[in-house]
């Protein structure tokens, strides 16, 4: 954790969604009396943090390395395991759902999920695209015919490679999902997935309540008039994409659900991960199975 950054207040870093941007611009965090720092991380690096240079690295590895925001998000599978291994606490009062899909070029001969047998599908290692692609494709293909590749990097690097014709198929979610759809890439199968929140360090519970109350107000605004807020996607994308983005055609993206991430969801997800050997060593390598030791619940 960056000590100097923490001295400046509760650290908020948006995560490929609209809610934080809406709450910031409308003053909802300030209305709650939250003493905070708002840090954009994608455009400031022009998406270079998503280029893994061929390394097998993804969302779980960023939790191992440490994140600087008080609340960070990733697919619920990764947050589940990362929290179980002591990299933070899973905030269990809410979860969210992000639209996702496997896309191929418009001129690809691939038209059905079955056509992806043996075809390299670019995903992020131990990230939402990894788990959700398995979840979607195993309805149609035996596991030994699902060919996921991890070397192309995380979300924006995968988008780069798809648009440049370097990938036969790629799993995208939220903003990159909408851009691929807008540009005419073919959606082969939906891979929508749940996202959970990780609490890093020891922020005050009242600050967490303030943060989520502000996001709840933002979520209502987005539900009522998504067309007023999809322009905030431009804040989430490296500038190289801006000229081709028509965010007026895009949907609202990730939706926060103010319902608990339950003990049943926690346990069932761990069983699912272990059965598919996504973490080498199976259940023993996935940390604590104790829901009450891993999560924070306030409401």
CA distance 295 to 247: 36
Digit-by-digit pLDDT tens for the chain (299 residues) are 444 444 558 999 998 899 999 999 999 999 999 999 998 876 655 545 445 455 566 666 766 565 667 898 899 999 999 999 999 999 999 999 999 999 999 999 999 999 999 999 999 999 999 999 999 999 999 999 999 999 777 899 999 999 999 999 999 999 999 999 999 999 999 999 999 999 988 899 999 999 999 999 999 999 999 999 999 999 999 999 999 999 999 999 999 999 999 999 999 999 999 999 999 888 988 999 999 999 988 77
Cα-based distances in Å from 284 to 8, 91, 236: 39, 23, 37
DSSP state of 237: S
This model's pTM is above 0.85: yes
- Provide the β-strand partners of residue 133: none
CA-wise closest residue to 248 among 234, 235, 261: 234
How many other CB atoms are found less than 10 A from the CB of residue 193?
22
Q: What homologous superfamily does CATH list for 100-193?
A: Periplasmic binding protein-like II (3.40.190.10)
Question: Please, what is the Cα angle at 134 between 129 and 135, to 5 degrees?
Answer: 95
Residue limits of CATH 3.40.190.10 in the chain:
3-97+194-296, 100-193
Cα-based distances in Å from 148 to 15, 25, 120, 121, 295: 24, 39, 6, 5, 30
Burial of 115 (0-12, 13-18, 19+ CB in 10 A): middle
Name 202's Cβ contacts closer than 8 Å, sequence gap at least 6. none
166: phi then psi, degrees, rounded to nearest 5: -90, -15
Structure-block tokens of residue 28: 């909802």
What's the fold here for domain 3-97+194-296?
D-Maltodextrin-Binding Protein; domain 2 (3.40.190)
């Amino acid at each position: 954790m960056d000590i100097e950054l923490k001295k400046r207040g509760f650290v908020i870093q948006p995560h490929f969604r609209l809610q934080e941007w809406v709450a910031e611009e409308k003053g909802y965090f300030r209305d709650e009396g939250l003493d905070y720092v708002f840090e954009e991380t994608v455009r400031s690096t022009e998406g270079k943090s998503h280029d893994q240079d061929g390394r097998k690295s993804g969302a779980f590895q960023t939790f191992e390395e440490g994140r600087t925001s008080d609340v960070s998000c990733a697919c619920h599978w990764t947050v589940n395991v990362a929290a179980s291994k002591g990299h933070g606490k899973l905030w269990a009062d809410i979860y969210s759902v992000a639209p996702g899909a496997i896309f191929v070029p418009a001129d690809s001969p691939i038209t059905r999920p079955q056509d992806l047998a043996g075809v390299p599908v670019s995903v992020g290692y131990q990230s939402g695209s990894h788990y959700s692609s398995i979840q979607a494709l195993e309805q149609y293909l035996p596991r030994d015919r699902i060919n996921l590749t991890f070397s192309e990097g995380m979300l924006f690097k995968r988008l780069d490679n798809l648009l440049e014709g370097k990938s036969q198929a790629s799993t995208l979610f939220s903003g990159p999902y909408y851009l691929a759809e807008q540009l005419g890439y073919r959606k082969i199968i939906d891979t929508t997935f749940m996202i959970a929140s990780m609490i890093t360090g020891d922020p005050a519970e009242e600050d967490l309540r303030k943060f989520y109350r502000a996001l709840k107000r933002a979520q209502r605004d987005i539900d009522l008039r998504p067309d007023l807020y999809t322009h905030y996607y431009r804040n989430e994308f490296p500038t190289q994409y801006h000229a081709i983005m028509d965010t007026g055609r895009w949907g609202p993206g990730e939706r926060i659900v103010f319902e608990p991430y339950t003990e049943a969801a926690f346990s069932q997800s761990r069983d699912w991960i272990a059965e598919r050997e996504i973490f080498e060593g199976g259940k023993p390598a996935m940390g604590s199975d104790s829901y009450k030791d891993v999560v924070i619940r306030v409401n």
